[in-house]
Structure 1
Amino acid sequence: MSTSLELALACGEALWVGDHACRGLDITLVDIAAGSATMSMRVRADMVNGHDLCHGGLIFTLADSCFAYACNSENFNTVAAGARIEFLAPARLGDELTANCNQVQQGRRSGVYDVTVINQAQQTIALFRGNSHRIGGHLVESENL
């Protein structure tokens, strides 16, 4: 019998195997537990837009990725049903962004998760809310843990 933390770690590892988007953007999974995750990303030169700011779509990608790991951390195959983001401050070249996601509500099929994206100075860059939908099946076989 595995603990919820062991299961969350195994789910994170299972997702990471095929997560070419996160690896390509150098997004790192910092922490994962049942219903939560933390990920980080350093803003590179190829992530900066014409205003010399981190492209909002990449901040969204960091938040959305963190949401994905959190809502799959309990070993139910889960996808996004919707998401929205509020940009509160700009991120700049060289900033180290950290996304922290926490489960707000999880029902049998649908869930709500909040993500806060901060920079290295602890300034809030964005707030993201994601709605999840469990589609059936599992990421890992829990008896193998």
Structure 2
Amino acid sequence: MNEDKLKKFFQRDRFAAYNGITLEKVEPGYAVTKMVVTENHLNGVDIIQGGAIFTLADLAFAAAANSYGQVTVGINANISYFKASSGKILMAEAKEVSSSSKIANYNVDVFNEKHELIARLTLMGYKKDKPIEFE
């Protein structure tokens, strides 16, 4: 898959865009996303809201899992939060762990700008019998 086409395709993810998440890099089975933290990403105790971290990691998974050109959707996810981040930038790096004809497994690590591990998301994706349709 062409990286530019994939980046353009994932700009259609309106929820991620609304939350300021960008797709920085994508290649087969691998992707990196970025989020500049704003006041809107903070929870009631002034740390980054868990859902914002999950959304950042979920887009990295989606890009990596769909990078082969076959529609793949998440069917199971588990997140572990290791550290609250006080930084201004979060990055998520998705890496394929295993893949079969129908199921793919990914780990997504979330780091701040000091490269401190903030969270890890493990996801399972289901590969549909449908190619990605580019505009």
Q: Is the shorter-chain TM-score for this pair beyond 0.5, marking a shared fold?
A: yes
Given residue 31 of structure 1, which amino acid in structure 2 is its aligned partner?
K
* CA–CA distance in structure 2, aligned partners of residues 133 and 95 of structure 1: 33
Aligned-pair RMSD on alpha carbons? 1.4
What secondary structure is seen at the aligned counterpart in 2 of 1:30? strand
Identity, % of aligned positions = 28
2:128 is matched with 135
1:7-46 superposed matches below 5 A: 8-16=3-11, 18-46=12-40
1:69 is matched with 63
Contact residue 27 and residue 39 of structure 1 kept, 8 A: yes
Query: Are residue 126 (structure 1) and residue 112 (structure 2) matched?
Result: no
* CA–CA distance in structure 2, aligned partners of residues 9 and 52 of structure 1: 36
Contact residue 6 and residue 26 of structure 2 kept, 8 A: no
Deviations 1:21-69 (A, max 9, x none): 1111110110000011000001110111111100011101101111011
Contact residue 11 and residue 139 of structure 1 kept, 8 A: no
* CA–CA distance in structure 2, aligned partners of residues 140 and 33 of structure 1: 17
* CA–CA distance in structure 2, aligned partners of residues 110 and 12 of structure 1: 23
> 5+ unaligned residues in a row in structure 2: which ranges?
none
- Which of the pair has more CA radius of gyration? 1
Query: Are residue 114 (structure 1) and residue 107 (structure 2) matched?
Result: yes
Q: Which runs of 4+ in 1 moved over 6 A?
A: none
Superposition TM-score, scaled by structure 1 size: 0.87
Deviations 1:65-104 (A, max 9, x none): 1101110000001100110010000023x52000000101
Given residue 21 of structure 1, which amino acid in structure 2 is its aligned partner?
F
1:87-102 superposed matches below 5 A: 87-92=81-86, 95-102=88-95
Matched pairs, number: 134
Contact residue 10 and residue 23 of structure 2 kept, 8 A: no
Higher relative contact order (CA 8 A, sep 6+): 1
